[in-house]
Amino acid sequence: MGRLDGKVAVITGATSGIGLRTAEVFVAEGAKIVIAGRRVPEGEALAKQLGAACTFRQTDVTQEDQMRALIALAVDKFGRIDCLFNNAGGPAQTGGIEGLEVDRFDAAMATLVRSVMLGMKHAAPYMKKQGSGSIINNGSIAGRLAGFSSSVVYGAAKAAVIHLTRCVAMELGESNIRVNSISPGAIATGIFGKALGLSIEAAERTPAVMREVYKAAQPIPRAGLPDDIAHAAVFLASDESSFVNGHDLVVDGAITGGRNWTQQQQGYVELRKAFDHGT
């Protein structure tokens, strides 16, 4: 018996990384899913892999008519929508405040924030009619603390997602609809390569590099994996989290917890050497 037996979910940004792995795990846990993405070959291949429990729809999550149609498809095909995972995203312009281009700022905000709003807006009426539902928004530790993204725009957008989640949770919770966010830490996906200007194809080949780069960034001695976020999403989609609402679930191996223990102790060693030298 799966943890999501009988549930219907919509997952955006499902053609790679976190979204792809979440789709696989949701189906393994018994859910029926509708997945969305911009890349048709990848979306259709994943739907074929997952079988009758999965349907793909090409979707630009920044466009209201397409988001409305995506949510309606889940209800038309499977009869209901129990979970929406607003996972779609992407990198934003890097660099300092003086060099930001307004068009690129607006595009990033549309992808990272407007899409989340649209998903919630169009899922809410169906969930209200059912009297239940779980909405999960993909945040980031960059939305909680500065300095965890190469882009100030990305950090600001994710902060908006986290707080928008709380605001909507206070409203929809009264209709027995839970709204939570997940804030990943250093997860080995292609988004880092995309942020640094690599093509989509090249960026999708970088997770192995990221696993090596980030293996010592946090106390847990490995980089985060898409599985880590997928299983957190399963918890928030399942009835196990029926009293969790308005929460930002940080999945980061404690990278935001403070200085790593070994780093701290090495600092004391150097300080002792400085004291000895000074006296």
Predicted confidence (pLDDT) per residue in 19-58, tens digit: 999 999 999 999 999 999 999 999 999 999 999 999 999 9
| pLDDT greater at residue 135 or residue 214 | 135
Does residue 279 have a pLDDT over 70? no
Residue 203 confidence (pLDDT): 64
Q: Give me the count of residues in the chain.
A: 279
Q: What is the pLDDT of residues 51-100, one digit of tens each?
A: 999 999 999 999 999 999 999 999 999 999 999 999 999 889 999 999 99
pLDDT of residue 276: 79
Q: In whole angstroms, give the CA distance from residue 2 to residue 12.
A: 22
Q: Which residue has the higher pLDDT, 150 or 87?
A: 87
pLDDT digits (tens, 9 = 90+) for 108-146: 999 999 999 999 999 999 999 999 999 999 999 999 999
Instruction: Give catalytic status of residue 154 as yes or no.
Output: yes
pTM of the model: 0.92
Q: Domain residue spans in the chain?
A: 8-278
Structure tokens at 98: 């003086």
- pLDDT above 80: residue 198: no
| Average pLDDT of span 227-238 | 98
Phi first, then psi, for residue 70 (nearest 5°) are -65, -45
Q: What is the DSSP string of 5-19?
A: TT-EEEESSTTSHHH
Q: Which residue has the higher pLDDT, 260 or 99?
A: 99
- Active-site residue, from 126, 154, 214, 268: 154
Question: How many percent of the chain have pLDDT more than 70?
Answer: 95
Q: DSSP alpha helices (H): ranges in the chain?
A: 17-28, 40-50, 64-78, 102-109, 115-130, 152-172, 191-195, 200-203, 207-213, 226-237, 261-278
**pLDDT above 80: residue 147:** yes
Q: What is 8-278's CATH number?
A: 3.40.50.720
Backbone angles phi, psi at 14, to 5 degrees: -100, 10
Distance separating alpha carbons of residues 195 and 96, to the nearest angstrom: 14
User: Considering only 7-16, 43-52, 226-235, 266-275, which range has the smallest mean pLDDT?
Assistant: 266-275
Q: What is residue 218's predicted lDDT score, i.e. its pLDDT?
A: 92
